[in-house]
Amino acid sequence: MIGSMTAGVGAMRSFVRGIEVIGNNVSNINTVGYKGAKTRFQDAFSNTLQRGTGNTGLGSNTITQQIGTGAKIATIKTQFTQGPLQTTGGLTDLGLSGEGFFRVRYTLQGLEYVTRAGDFRVDDQGYLVTNAGFRVQGIGFADATETSLNFVPTTVTLDTASLRDVRVTSNTGAGTPIRMETFQIDQGGNINVFLADGTSFVRGKILLQRFSDAGALVKEGDNLYSGIADAGPTEPWPASRVSGTQSVAFGGATDYLALQAAQNGNGRVISGSLEMSNVDLTDEFANMITTQRAFQAASKLITTSDEILQDIVNLKR
């Protein structure tokens, strides 16, 4: 009876974790870029009463006899399936259709994360950033070009040898900039800037990151994931940045061939839209019901075992 009570307690503990996962999924039904999780269970260690034996030719084989000790959580796995795209019309709202993550950098500490939430904004310095101020990563103009007095953006090309924080302003140098009318980000991640004089140019390019095992990513809150190295990046990125510099040499333009949006397996950037949560509310409610019933059954197992133990104790009367 003690074994059955222990199995019931273990099962209840596991099902409580399952309910917590479901509760978190439901609470994030409207979270931009959220990826729901699924709880999977497995049986625990089994006590062996008798091991099976093979047929020796003199008699039949015997079967193994075991009594299980309950259930436990096998895995809590994040589901990286595509979430629905919702049209917003915002210039800095970027949804991802297909594989890949935006890569962002916390400049104060030099930490890098990935995210599927594309509800970005342009900060006071012209950088494309998350709501928390983390800068979106990609390619742009070389530092010397940015600070040049004669910076004419329509006559220079992007620096494909370095990774940097993406900007959308028309000019950051000391010269007199031509007023930017608007900008547009295409499906390949190119930032197209349109100026007041009728000219336009590509200001930068947002790069995406894919992984061989996205399940190894770690949720850090704020729609961010860490654990980039453990997830097995499928494209090369610099391991670190030199303190105080804008970018780090990346090895040449060929390294970027696997990182441009809408190419080599990466998804497309859909401007003016956001990828919403991939949580299916109907599925979560169904899982909630089955998990609740399983919890009730496990609790009933404990009360039944207790009643049997009470009957055993009463035998001495």
Copy the structure tokens of residue 101: 């993550």
Q: How confident is the model at residue 243 (pLDDT cuts 50, 70, 90)?
A: very low
The stretch 54-73 carries a mean pLDDT of: 81
If one compares 260 and 82, the residue with the highest pLDDT of the two is 82
Q: What Å distances lie between residue 283 and 25, 112, 124, 289, CA to CA?
A: 11, 33, 43, 10
pLDDT band at 225 (very low <50, low <70, confident <90, very high): very high
Same domain, 15 and 115: no
Evaluate the CA torsion angle 124, 274, 288, 13 in order and state its sign.
negative
Cβ 205 vs Cβ 189: under 8 Å? yes
Count the residues in the chain: 317
In this predicted structure, the answer to whether residue 235 has a pLDDT above a threshold of 80 is: no
47 pLDDT higher than 90? no
The reported pTM is 0.81
Residue 188 CA to residue 303 CA, distance in Å, equals 61
Report the domain count for the chain: 2
> Region 253-279: what's the mean pLDDT?
76
Q: Which position has the higher pLDDT, 119 or 68?
A: 119
Give DSSP secondary structure letters for the chain. Answer: -HHHHHHHHHHHHHHHHHHHHHHHHHHTTT-TT---EEEEEEE--EEEEE--B---SSS--B--EEEE--EEEEEEEE--PPPPEEE---TTBEEEESS-EEEEEETTTTEEEEES--B-EE-TTSBEE-TT-PEEEEEE--HHHHT-TT--GGG---EEEEEEE-B--S--SSS-PPPEEEEEE-TT-EEEEEETTS-EEEEEEEBEE-BS-GGG-EEEETTEEE-TTTT-BSS---S---TT-S-EE-S-GGGGGGTBTTSTT--EEEETEEE-----HHHHHHHHHHHHHHHHHHHHHHHHHHHHHHHHHHTT-
- For the segment 67-72, the average pLDDT, to the nearest whole number, is 86
Residues 150 and 110 placed together within one structural domain of the fold: yes
In a domain, 57, yes or no: no
Residues 131 and 170 reside in one and the same domain: yes
Q: What is the pLDDT of residue 261?
A: 74
The one-letter amino acid at 80: F
For residue 105, CA distances in Å to 29, 110, 140, 221 come to: 26, 7, 15, 15
Q: Is residue 145 part of a domain?
A: yes
Q: 172 and 187 in one domain?
A: yes
Tell me: do 121 and 260 sit in the same domain.
yes
Mean pLDDT for the stretch of residues 33-48: 91
Does residue 238 share a domain with residue 127? Answer: yes
pLDDT attached to residue 62: 81
Q: Are residues 114 and 261 in the same domain?
A: yes
Cβ burial 22-35 (10 Å sphere, 16+ → b, else e) = beebeebeebbbbb
Evaluate whether residue 60 is within a structural domain. Answer: no
Instruction: Confirm whether 12 is domain-assigned.
Output: yes
Q: Which is nearest to 101 in space by CA: 188, 185, 205, 210?
A: 210
If one counts every other C-beta atom within 10 angstroms of the C-beta of residue 248, the result is 16
pLDDT tens profile 166-220: 988 765 555 566 778 899 999 999 999 898 888 888 989 999 999 999 999 999 9
pLDDT at 251 over 90: no
pLDDT-based confidence at residue 247 (cuts at 50, 70, 90):
very low
pLDDT over 70 (residue 299): yes
* Distances, alpha carbon 118 to alpha carbons 43, 65, 274, 301, in Å: 40, 55, 6, 48
Q: Quick one: pLDDT at residue 2?
A: 75
58 assigned to some structural domain: no
144 and 198 part of one domain: yes
For 235-257, what is the mean pLDDT? Answer: 44
Determine, yes or no, domain membership for 59.
no
Which pLDDT score, from 0 to 100, does residue 270 have?
95
36 closest CA partner among 84, 100, 103: 84
pLDDT of residue 177: 66
Asked if 200 and 154 sit in the same domain, the reply is yes
Are 189 and 137 within one domain? yes
84 Rama class: left (phi>0) / alpha (psi -120 to 50) / beta: beta
Instruction: Name the residue type at position 123.
Output: D
Q: Which domain holds residue 125?
A: 88-275
Tell whether 286 and 257 lie within a shared domain.
no
Q: What is the pLDDT of residues 282-291, one digit of tens each?
A: 999 999 999 9
Q: Are residues 299 and 245 in the same domain?
A: no
Question: Mind listing the pLDDT tens digit for each residue in 116-163?
Answer: 999 999 998 889 999 999 999 998 887 777 766 666 677 778 887 778
Region 20-48 average pLDDT:
93
